[in-house]
Amino acid sequence: MYKTPMKNEDVVTDIALKPAYIPAVWKKNLPIIAGMFLIILGLGTATLPYITDRDHVDLEVAELAEIATQPNIYENINLEARSAIVYDIKSGEIFFGRNEDVQLPLASIAKIMTALVAVHNKSGDDTVKVASGAFETEGATSLAVGERWHLSDLIDQTLVSSSNTGAVAIAMSVGSNIGGGKPTSSFVDFMNTYAAELGLEKTYFLNPTGLDEGHDLAGAYGSALDVARLLSFITKYNPELIRATGFQTVRAVTLDNVIKDAKNTNTSIQRLPFLRAGKTGYTDLAGGNLAIVFDVGLDHPVVAVVLGSSIHGRFTDIERLVQATFLKYKLQE
């Protein structure tokens, strides 16, 4: 077996859109980049040689390596997140971890598993009709009762815009094919079965959206390490499942010939070079979450995850982790 208000975020067809913009700063020479990154990472200007524009001093790679490795480039990184990880998909190595095995609320990151379970339990007819019951969940949506979608298009729509209605519509439709009780409950049972089969030891789902169930009960739990392993599995075996999430905007056409556009809830896309995919999450209990996959080299994907940050801090946290990882690799060349 094996594709809100701001409170848990809430549109793709053939993706004929521009990929994420690569900032010009990444194209400058290494010394300048390294100096900027070290400052951003909070290592402090005191660790850098004094340089002025008039001096035109070029730092040698060896000098930068010494600066960057004393302390470890990640060691003093300033993050708001309670938990974080940078995980090499190819080797399984953890480049950076901070409370990465602690169980925390996942919020809308849960929708990644919703998508995976859906594509592996769809029937021969992959049409999803949006049921009225899908609108009982919290969150803004552009979906309409009775709309018919190709499952893959609705998954893209749901992941990119973080649509709670879309996630429930998928769970209701696919869950009705699974059998064994109420469609949504059956679907969530499969989410937990998949989590166990993938070895995600800290992961547990109560609903397909990740929305909080109450004041002290989240809709999904897991660790940053679990999220990294889930994204690693998908990147290796079904990368198309999350490909749409690497775009700022995506367009879909329903089976009723209605055009739907979705804006990505990941507002840091333009500041994340070589981004493959990503998923945001935010609820009162979870705080700000963000998980991304990006290439640090040619066909060398890496996962970065932050959990328990703030609504804005999650983006800054991820950007700092990405910058540190690029610097790490540049210094190893």
Q: Which residues of 197-228 are buried (b: 16+ CB within 10 A; e: fewer)?
A: ebebebbbbbbbbbbbeeeeebbbbbbbbbbb
Question: How many Å apart are CA 171 and CA 169, to the nearest integer?
Answer: 5
Token pair belonging to 16: 């004929």
Nearest CA to 133 out of 81, 176, 94, 168 is that of 168
Residue 111 bears catalytic tag: yes
Residue 328 bears catalytic tag: no
Selected catalytic residue, list 83, 108, 186, 223: 108
Nearest CA to 277 out of 146, 109, 149 is that of 109
- What residues have CB less than 8 Å from 196, skipping those under 6 apart? none
236 labeled part of a ligand binding site: no
Selected catalytic residue, list 7, 111, 202, 330: 111
DSSP type of residue 251: E
Given a contact cutoff of 8 angstroms between Cβ atoms, the answer to whether 290 and 306 are in contact is yes
- What residues have CB less than 8 Å from 96, skipping those under 6 apart? 74, 77, 84, 85, 86, 321, 324, 325
Residue 162 bears catalytic tag: yes
DSSP type of residue 31: H
DSSP type of residue 8: S
DSSP type of residue 61: H
Question: How many Å apart are CA 168 and CA 146, to the nearest integer?
Answer: 14
The string of DSSP letters for 180-230 reads SSSHHHHHHHHHHHHHHHTT-TT-EESSSS---SSSS--SEEE-HHHHHHH
Rounded to whole angstroms, what are the CA distances from 9 to 107, 155, 239, 265, 289? 9, 15, 22, 7, 11
Token pair belonging to 87: 């995980």
Selected catalytic residue, list 162, 223, 268, 309: 162
Q: Which residues of 115-143 are buried (b: 16+ CB within 10 A; e: fewer)?
A: bbbbbebbeeebebebbeebbebebebbb
Query: Which residues belong to the annotated binding site?
Result: 279
The residues that are catalytic are 108, 111, 162
Query: Which residues belong to the annotated binding site for substrate?
Result: 279
